[in-house]
């Protein structure tokens, strides 16, 4: 039987799993892991800068917001891996849906929560807010959880 992360005391171990520095794309965009509150929950942020702007440089490009949504959802999913589970071999986005509600002109924060999961799929909801707390966008992401055969 494998041990399962089950409380806030394990949050630092979960954060280390998410924030291991191995995703070059996150570094390129400037995505930062803010919190991992427990299995199935992660909070990531992205600072606004000119390189992420649209033709109106003060407005963050939707692709950057979508990337943050995907990253936050992926971070939440990886926290589901049970300690000692040697069958988990990775995860991949199957479906990404983003609804843009307001323009993002400041730093944004994405809070991802796994709604439901099985051994092979995870369904994640992500809310993205600006630094005033206004809801900028919402996302739904479906992830495939890949497993090695035993």
Any domain includes 3:
no
Number of domains in the chain: 1
- On whether residue 108 sits in a domain, the answer given is yes
pLDDT in tens, the chain (150 residues): 333 344 544 566 666 667 766 788 888 999 999 999 889 999 999 999 999 999 999 999 999 999 999 999 999 999 998 888 889 888 999 999 999 999 999 999 999 999 999 999 999 999 999 999 999 999 999 999 999 987
27 occurs within a structural domain: yes
In a 10 Å sphere around its CB, with 0-12 CB exposed, 13-18 middle and 19+ buried, how is residue 104 labelled?
A: buried
CATH number of the domain residue 128 falls in: 3.10.129.10
Q: Could you tell me if residue 2 is inside a domain?
A: no
Asked, for residue 129, whether it belongs to a domain, the answer is yes
Q: What is the pTM of this model?
A: 0.88
Question: Cβ(74)–Cβ(145) under 8 Å?
Answer: no
**Domain range enclosing 54:** 8-147
């Amino acid at each position: 039987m494998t041990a399962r992360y089950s409380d806030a005391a394990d949050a630092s171990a979960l954060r280390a799993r998410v924030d291991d520095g191995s995703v070059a794309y996150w570094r390129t965009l400037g995505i930062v892991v803010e919190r991992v509150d427990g299995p199935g929950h992660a909070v990531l942020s992205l600072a606004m800068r000119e390189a992420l702007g649209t033709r109106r440089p003060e407005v963050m490009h939707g692709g950057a917001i979508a990337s943050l949504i995907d990253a936050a959802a992926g971070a939440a999913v990886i926290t589901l891996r049970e300690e000692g589970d040697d069958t988990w071999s990775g995860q991949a986005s199957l479906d990404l849906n983003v609804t843009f509600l307001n323009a993002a002109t400041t730093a944004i924060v994405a809070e991802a929560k796994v709604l439901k999961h099985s051994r092979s799929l995870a369904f994640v909801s992500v809310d993205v807010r600006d630094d005033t707390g206004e809801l900028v966008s919402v996302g739904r992401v479906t992830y495939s959880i890949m497993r090695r055969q035993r």
